[in-house]
A = this chain, B = another copy of it.
């Protein structure tokens, strides 16, 4: 039962793409530790799932042509656009902004100019965020883009954000993250009315700091009130208490990596158990089918593809160290978001929140103490 929920896109994108609208993704061919080899192999897998999609593959022409020759399925959906340089994984964002002809920059340009609806890159995250803000630009009404991704829980999947785009946040950012996370859960998980939790050190209303209490107060009085569950704690993430977990980028990044680390530890210890003797090895053979399903369900590659939400286009970051299967998952996420008109859903919610925000600004002018903490 646990394994039953499908990502929305897995079942729906196929039909969307057989329709009249051909969507185009710009793909940074040079990003990631595995470079063009992994990217193109990933596109070959994605091509099967999204036969109607078009990909603008950007990078070193000779290398990309060579890789496409080895993957005819990828070649069938790709058009190469040459780029003279690539952003190294350790380049600082400020330096990356100065490189005008990088494969990452040209991928963002394609979205900004309307040639593509989304971009996928396995490159340098800091450079990606900086370029996305400058080139693709922030959505009107959003103060700061956030990084969102899906993780496994006992009840299905959870959307968590921010995962590191903003190490410090105020209550406005958290409220916007809630709006964007809700739209993300609708688009990528296919949920009609996702529930939202605000990550805190306790579930009581008085826990945490002022910005958390402010954000909770705004959400409780917003158009999302019925979906807002209140505060959740660390263990609620994997318990699946809510469909969306909202937090600042520092806490979200630490929580994501801590959870992944704990699961990795469990699998390493489990491997030792199964190798601890002849009987254990035999036992392993008997439980292997179920164990493989469990491993697949928790497989980080299945959850690859973090999204920078709050931009004028779909910007998806694949893990730099992923393989072809993982890169294909990142393409899935981008396709889901493009086809589900993710940003229109955000715009609608934000305009509803505008009235509320205006009221709150008024209140702050009357109570300087409230303004001081936000």
Residues of A at the B interface (CB closer than 8 Å) are 2, 152-154, 164, 167-168, 199, 201, 208-209, 233-239, 247, 249-251, 253-270, 272-274, 276-277, 279-280, 282-287, 289-291, 293-294, 297-298
Contact = CB atoms under 8 A, between A and B. Distances in A.
Nearest to A270: B294
A270 B291 CA distance: 8
B280 A286 contact: yes
Contact of A290 (B167, B237, B280, B286): B280
Contacts of A273: 287, 290-291, 293-294
B253 A234 contact: yes
B280 A258 contact: no
B237 A258 contact: yes
A286 B254 CA distance: 37
A275 to B, nearest CB: 9
Given A251-B250, A254-B251, A254-B255, A261 B236 contact: yes
A272 to B, nearest CB: 7
A245 to B, nearest CB: 10
Is the contact region of chain A dominated by helix, strand, or loop, or is it mixed?
Answer: helix
Contacts of A236: 261
Contacts of A289: 276, 280
Contacts of A262: 238, 258-260, 262-263, 266
Given A270-B294, A273-B290, A168 B234 contact: no
Contacts of A257: 233-235
Contact of A265 (B168, B199, B209, B238): B238
* Highest count of chain B CB atoms <10 Å: which of A209, A234, A253: A234
A349 to B, nearest CB: 26
Contacts of A293: 273
A290 B286 CA distance: 16
B284 A297 contact: no
A331 to B, nearest CB: 25
Contacts of A251: 250-251, 254
A167 B265 CA distance: 28
B254 A238 contact: no
A280 B269 contact: no
A242 to B, nearest CB: 13
Contacts of A265: 152-154, 238-239, 263
Contacts of A258: 234-235, 237-238, 255, 258-259, 262
Given A235-B258, A263-B263, 9 more contacts: A167-B201, A167-B208, A235-B257, A237-B258, A238-B261, A250-B251, A255-B255, A258-B259, A258-B262
B287 A260 contact: no
Given A283-B284, A283-B286, A254 B234 contact: yes
A238 to B, nearest CB: 4
Contact of A259 (B259, B284, B290, B294): B259
Contacts of A237: 258, 261
Given A167-B208, A297-B269, A254 B287 contact: no
Nearest to A164: B201
A290 B297 CA distance: 24
A147 to B, nearest CB: 11
Given A201-B167, A234-B256, A260-B235, A269 B283 contact: no
